[in-house]
Amino acid sequence: MQKRNTQQRRRAIVELVNLQGEVAVDELAKRFDTSEVTIRKDLAELESNGLLLRRFGGAVLLPSDAGELRDDKVSPQKQAIARCAAELVRDHDRIIIDSGSTTAALLPALRHRLGLVIMTNSLHVANLALQAENEPKLLMSGGTWDPQSHAFQGQQAEQMIRAYNFDWAFLGAAGLDVSRGTTTFNELTYLSQAMADVAARVVIMAESDKLSRKIPNVELPWSAVSILVTDDGIAQDAKQQIEQHGVTVMCAPVTSA
């Protein structure tokens, strides 16, 4: 009976996270009439199964990019955004590509560019680069492997990145805030900041529906962003508000995907 109750409780926790976006340990303990220690064990097990991400005091919804990487799915929006972003790159450019399914979709769109130098912290991006017929020069950041983002993170990765300079940085985003910039569930945003710091121009690649996500932590302020490449579903007023921060907003037509 206890095992069954545990499974039911954990399923209910996942449903709550998917519904609310985040949950708190103390609230879950009250809801399920159990101890906070038990809830923390539940969250640890659910995180190990890739169903949510633990954060201080609770847990949050797993970022969509991580799940999509495991399922090997690339939406029409992501493909359109990648094609649009690839138009910015010229032969022999030096670019840095962040982890994520949207940024990874950039690789097939760059197949006609010659002499590229690509640095990434993502094994998925690295594998795509190694398979490319145009044979870009590949640099890896190294660092500590993060199973949630399927990428390397940490101070060693930051130090490696800061030893270079790039023409472009292509970064993803868990959320977009028209007033603040890109947002993330992760409080440790130093790697994205390092990527932005070493690039002449910073490009954010994100679907327009990420404007509806209410995420607490700012990853990059708009002042650090050169271009936002999104899909043509973005509302005109949101586009104008972002452009007021000096950001160029490129809207990729999804209908041609």
pLDDT in tens, 202-220: 999 999 999 987 777 899 9
Residues 240, 167, single domain; the answer is yes
pLDDT at 47: 79
Contact between 134 and 95 (Cβ < 8 Å): no
3-state secondary structure string, the chain? CHHHHHHHHHHHHHHHHHHHCEEEHHHHHHHHCCCHHHHHHHHHHHHHCCCCEEECCEEECCCHHHHHHHHCCCCHHHHHHHHHHHCCCCCCCEEEECCCHHHHCHHHHCCCCCCCEEEECEHHHHHHHHHCCCCCEEEECCCEEECCCCEEECHHHHHHHCCCCEEEEEECCCEEECCCEEEECCCCCHHHHHHHHCEEEEEEECCHHHHHCCCCEEEEEHHHCCEEEEECCCCHHHHHHHHCCCCEEEEECHHHC
Residues 91, 55, single domain; the answer is no
Cα distance between residue 199 and residue 167, in whole Å? 5
The number of folded domains in the chain is: 2
Residues 97, 206, single domain; the answer is yes
Residues 49, 92, single domain; the answer is no
Residues 39, 82, single domain; the answer is no
Cα distance between residue 34 and residue 234, in whole Å? 44
| Residue at which a domain ends, from 27, 45, 62 | 62
Residues 48, 157, single domain; the answer is no
- Specify the amino acid at residue 157: A
Contact between 187 and 174 (Cβ < 8 Å): no
Digit-by-digit pLDDT tens for the chain (257 residues) are 355 588 889 989 988 888 888 899 999 999 999 999 999 999 988 877 667 888 878 888 766 554 444 444 678 899 999 999 999 999 999 999 999 889 999 999 999 999 999 999 998 899 899 888 889 999 999 888 876 677 888 899 999 999 999 999 999 998 999 999 999 876 667 899 999 999 999 999 999 999 987 777 899 999 999 999 999 999 999 999 999 999 999 999 986 44
Residues 230, 193, single domain; the answer is yes
Query: CATH no. for residue 205?
Result: 3.40.50.1360
Residues 124, 20, single domain; the answer is no
Q: Is the pTM of this model over 0.75?
A: no
Cα distance between residue 225 and residue 79, in whole Å? 21
Residues 75, 52, single domain; the answer is no
Residues 225, 247, single domain; the answer is yes
Q: What is the pLDDT of residues 62-103, one digit of tens each?
A: 665 544 444 446 788 999 999 999 999 999 999 999 998 899
Residue 104 domain boundaries: 70-256
